[in-house]
């Protein structure tokens, strides 16, 4: 169990957003465990997996490498919410969509289970 303070969660989320904005896939992947479980509407769209779940760092890396090809990719951190061994990172994409990633963390502050939710286009 980790003691997740607001400042620690904010620092972690800023590091993650910064890695995305630099298009640094290795730095992004450093935020996840090897056996990560990841759920997102992008999984359904890109891979045709109806459950929306990917398992393992290798598959997640492949998924994120596709995401990094987005034109003018940019993550703007909006807020970070904390829970018990979890944090919810709320950010805005370059498209204007609001996204929340609910991240269950291991003892090393790496995401082991992640659920991404997207707002609807306006």
Q: How far apart are CA 44 and CA 53, in angstroms?
A: 8
pLDDT tens per residue across span 58-113 = 999 999 999 999 999 999 999 999 999 999 999 999 999 999 999 999 999 999 99
81 or 4: whose pLDDT is higher? 81
The answer for 46, left when phi > 0, alpha when psi is -120 to 50, beta otherwise, is alpha
pLDDT tens per residue across span 23-48 = 999 999 999 999 999 999 999 999 99
Angle, vertex CA 19, rays to CA 13 and CA 20, nearest 5: 90
pLDDT band at 8 (very low <50, low <70, confident <90, very high): very high
Q: How far apart are CA 101 and CA 56, in angstroms?
A: 17
- CA 33 to chain CA centroid, nearest Å: 12
| pTM summary value | 0.93
Domains and CATH numbers, the chain: 6-117 (3.10.450.50)
Q: How many CB atoms lie within 10 A of CB 110?
A: 17
- Residue 5 has what pLDDT? 92
Rounded-to-10 torsion of CA 113, 14, 31, 19 = 130
Q: Does residue 1 surpass a pLDDT of 90?
A: no
């Amino acid at each position: 169990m980790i003691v997740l303070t607001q400042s620690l969660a904010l620092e972690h989320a800023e590091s993650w957003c910064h890695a995305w904005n630099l298009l640094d896939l290795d730095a992004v992947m450093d935020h996840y465990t090897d056996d990560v479980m990841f759920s997102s509407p992008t999984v359904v769209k890109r891979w045709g997996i109806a459950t929306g779940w990917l398992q393992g760092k290798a598959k997640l890396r492949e998924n994120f490498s596709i995401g990094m090809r987005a034109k003018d990719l940019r993550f703007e951190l909006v807020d970070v919410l904390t829970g018990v061994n979890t944090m919810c990172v709320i950010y805005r994409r370059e498209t204007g969509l609001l996204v929340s990633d609910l991240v269950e963390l291991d003892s090393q502050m790496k995401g082991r289970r992640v659920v991404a939710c997207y707002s609807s286009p306006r």
